[in-house]
Amino acid sequence: MANQPLIKGQKTLNTYSRDSLIEIWGQSLTMGKVSEPREAVLLELSEYFKISIEEAKEKCLHWKEYSAQEWNSGDRTTPEGLQDFYNNQTSWIFDTMWYHAAQYYGEMPAESVEIALGLGHIYPGKHLDFGAGPGSSSLFFYKLGWEVYQADISHTMQEFAKWRLNRHNVKATFYDTSREQLPDQTFDLITAFDVMVHIPNAVDTIRSLAQALQPGGYLVFNIDNQPLTPEIRSYLAHFYDQQYPILKHVRRLGFRKCAKISYFHVYQRVNRGKVRTKFLGTYDILRYNKYVNVVTTLARMVLRRLRH
């Protein structure tokens, strides 16, 4: 059946090529009922929100304007105001659904596919998508034989994801991170796609994700470090101008740094002694210091010139 996992038994993700994973990504969006992922997401948005296909497409293409309206409709300077935004916004649903369809056509990086390729050596286990949004990544990893779990702070996003995964006959467990803690030592893989940008204290979040991972489990996340422009400020609650304030803390929280996958940081949960952990933490605080990095960059430029 189209909605059953494609991997049976203990097989690693190395079984599949990039092209085959792209096709599986497309199948996870279409349920095997619609030929085109873009058509499929518009149909789902139209059905869920009870609007026309044309209106769904218009909301996808102009999500930023709708998001700015939602953001400016209330006071977002308090935790309560911020949670109210997350609980009631719908613009991000249209944005992420359209974005996920675009990944199939190569118009945007196919992020879940890249992660599956980069971690091809591991066996399917328990996958938590943190900040899961509409659930596309869970649909994809389910197709690859994983047990899927979703965590999100947005009530509207999670209600849509529950409806969508049920529609796809995919069993998943959901966590509302505004009021629930994640279980300890449960997951083999945690992904956080474009999430850290929205979190006021990413370090505390990474600490809780470390506790939720099984020893040897992987944490994969990206940090968008675009400049904070007035346009972005109008529809994003929190935006990190740089990644150093986050990265300098990760290894001291119990992780080993692995090779990056595209623009995603990859860390593995490890158990190490207190002395080594403290040493690595101190080293990373120095390493990921913006002033140290400026000096290092200038020194490298000078050395390159001298070599020529």
Domain ranges of the chain: 13-299
Q: Write the class of the CATH domain 13-299.
A: alpha beta
pLDDT at 116 over 80: yes
pLDDT at 183 over 70: yes
Q: Determine which of 220-224, 268-272, 279-283 has the lowest per-residue pLDDT on average.
A: 279-283
| Residue-level pLDDT at 275 | 79
Query: pTM score, two decimals?
Result: 0.84
Average pLDDT over residues 71-92: 93
Residues 248 and 267: their CA atoms lie apart, in Å, by 13
For residues 204-241, one letter each, b for 16 or more C-beta atoms within 10 angstroms of the residue's C-beta and e for the rest, the string is: ebbeebbbbbeeebbbbbbbbeeeeeeeeeebbeeebe
Element (H, E) at 266: strand 265-269
pLDDT at 72 over 50: yes
Residues 117 and 115: their CA atoms lie apart, in Å, by 5
Residues 230 and 196: their CA atoms lie apart, in Å, by 19
